[in-house]
Structure 1
């Protein structure tokens, strides 16, 4: 099955072959969901902090040497597999992905019609595709906008360039329709204004067909058009720089607000527990001595998990702590 395919890392990263199982894929996608919910996907890309957190989590969970390159390569594979399925079933009526069976549910005749139109869909009639809804959240928007998506800043820049180009072409068309310019070839725009035709001594275009007059007009017009084009390009670039600066400023403000809010919330809600008290708590609830240092660091680095451990009833405290440490993210 596609979702359980393995990949081999490049020699400069690791010579070890890592086989990704279904359970590992599930854990990887859940880890990405956690980082996504914490706002660590910016402009369509997960942050370096997100990848660091995911690597630590998977390494602790499976006891394997998993580095950032392995996670990134597997994420590319998962996105490619999702894209293949997404391109088949997007916007199709009569189909629904079943979160229990992980199959696409549809009437037999609907399946037959789809397979006739898209033969590749046949493999998904009886083969499950796990985590489709989660991948739709993590990557569906990017896939809908293109293979890797397009940031809003890039989209605005491309749109402005298109609008300016269209406006320039429309201006030329209007001048031609008014009889002020004629198109001699792909590069030359010849001015037909008799007042500026010094070589023709004020003659109209019909009266003065000399090569000298046409050449002079063409050069003047090309220079003027080139100057206008350069000015337009500089203006567009300046506008883009201002937009980029505004985007960066807005993003910095948002990140700052998030950090301030998070810091304030953490300060208000952080459990009042010293290091010695936490060690004593771990001993009292039965955590093995050799595991206490790792569990201690794990809890002290995450206020939410520390609060959960402190507030948890004593009878189930050990089970809850170990579940957070090993089996839940």
Structure 2
């Protein structure tokens, strides 16, 4: 085989099927459970293990890290679109045996009117949905919270800047049109005339004094806004640094002991990862009765 032929074979795209996708996603879940995912990213060792595991199940397939990374990114994009659409909707139920979201026809019709892209999921299965929730559900929630906080800071800064600009322009307009007379804003001393009489400030002097006063106030507002942004950033940092009292694999084992079905287990796992204080409550429960711990978990998830 010539070098050109070898290169051409390496560039032949890999055709993935549902069985391969299922094994791939399960392999990534396993690597996450054993701690080979750090700060949301899979380690190089995790990728090597995934390549090995999928290759063992499909020995005729030529895999490497790049092909594995490209495929899971593609699957994640499709999952993210579906997850963001259905996560907070009422009237929809997940059918595990069909791997589909189900609802009454009028509920589907209303959703499709608001979000036409939802029509694609009306009669289409979503394979491996719960395992993808385990991999990326918490990431979607974290991303949403981060974007919300960032948008809030941008909005506050924009509103304060707009308020400062509009206020100064409105005062300038009223003074220039002699609609108001302003006194006591650090005006320059009056100049005495020939007979000791004090002359009035010129219009230009009044406008300058008003601008100076409002600029001082605007600077104070800007400083307060900057301080608020720093406080929010510090709060975001603290929240991002919150850690679960146990590892993710230990959380999984804890839930398996509660004899949950697969749907309940997946939902509870995502819930406890996102809520470390709730996990601490479960771990601190004085009762050794597993049924009581299970009931407590369901109450928390409500």
Q: Is the 8 A contact 2:37 2:43 kept in 1?
A: no
Q: Does 1:183 align with 2:171?
A: yes
Q: Which runs of 5+ in 2 are unaligned?
A: 1-6, 174-179, 192-199, 251-302
* 237 and 115 in structure 1: CA distance in 2 versus 1, 3 angstrom threshold: closer
Q: In structure 1, which of residues 29, 35, 57 is the aligned counterpart of residue 31 of structure 2?
A: 35
Which segment is superposed worse, 66-75 or 109-118? 109-118
Aligned to 1:273: none
Q: Does 1:212 align with 2:205?
A: yes
* 208 and 67 in structure 1: CA distance in 2 versus 1, 3 angstrom threshold: farther
Aligned to 2:131: 134
Aligned to 2:187: 197
User: Counterparts in 2 of 1:9-48, with a 5 A limit?
Assistant: 15-38=11-34, 45-48=40-43
1:16 deviates by 3.3
- Corresponding residue SS for 1:97: strand
* 164 and 38 in structure 1: CA distance in 2 versus 1, 3 angstrom threshold: farther
**How far apart are the structure 2 equivalents of 1:39 and 1:57?**
17
| Bigger relative CO (Cα 8 Å, ≥ 6 apart) | 2
Aligned to 1:55: 51
| Number of residue pairs matched by the alignment | 226
**How far apart are the structure 2 equivalents of 1:119 and 1:182?**
45
Aligned to 1:71: 68
Aligned to 1:102: 99
User: Counterparts in 2 of 1:241-256, with a 5 A limit?
Assistant: 250=241, 254=243
**How far apart are the structure 1 equivalents of 2:217 and 2:30?**
55
1:77 deviates by 1.8
1:198 deviates by 0.9
Q: Is the 8 A contact 2:186 2:209 kept in 1?
A: no
Q: TM-score, normalised by structure 2?
A: 0.52
**How far apart are the structure 1 equivalents of 2:28 and 2:15?**
19
1:125 deviates by 4.7
Provide the alpha-carbon RMSD of the alignment.
4.9
Q: Is the 8 A contact 2:185 2:209 kept in 1?
A: no
1:17 deviates by 0.9
